[in-house]
Amino acid sequence: MRVVLDANTLASGALSSAGAIAQLMDEWLAEGRFAVVSSDKILDEVERALGRRYFASRLAARDRSAFIDLIRREALMVVPRTDVGRVAADPADDHVLATAVDGEASYLVTGDHALLALAEFRGVRIETARELVTLLDL
């Protein structure tokens, strides 16, 4: 099974030691229960997020860099080519949807309310981290 974790979910995963996001990170990296699909553009957004004061005050620069390297090494990296049109309220989210479609993901995990309102896009179910943990019975 393939899953796209959006940039905010991945950035939160850099800090989370408990809760749904931490469970997903553990099930991906330690247990191999699913594969994460990502793209350079999503990782660029994660890197920008980790550079913001909130994350920078909690993670050293080398740890932020190591986290990005870990994702790049462990995720299935795709170059989305599908034009999804202007589906999402935020045009940047169209890239996340295209990554999920071209990466043949079953799920897209996000906390973004506009994306969650779609519920499903071209066969990709859009869920919160907590919802996916419940669906997968983790």
- Region 2-26 average pLDDT: 96
For 107-122, the pLDDT digits (tens) are 999 999 999 999 999 9
Joined together, the tokens standing for residue 67 give: 């986290």
Q: How many domains does the chain have?
A: 1
pLDDT at 89 over 90: no
Range of the domain at 104: 2-135
pLDDT at 85 over 90: no
- Region 18-29 average pLDDT: 96
Joined together, the tokens standing for residue 74 give: 């462990």
Residue 51 belongs to a domain with what CATH number? 3.40.50.1010
- Region 9-38 average pLDDT: 96
Bridge partners for 16 per DSSP: none
- Region 64-82 average pLDDT: 97
Whether the Cβ atoms of residue 16 and residue 109 lie closer than 8 Å to each other: no
Between 47 and 84, the more confident residue is 47
Question: What average pLDDT is seen over the chain?
Answer: 95
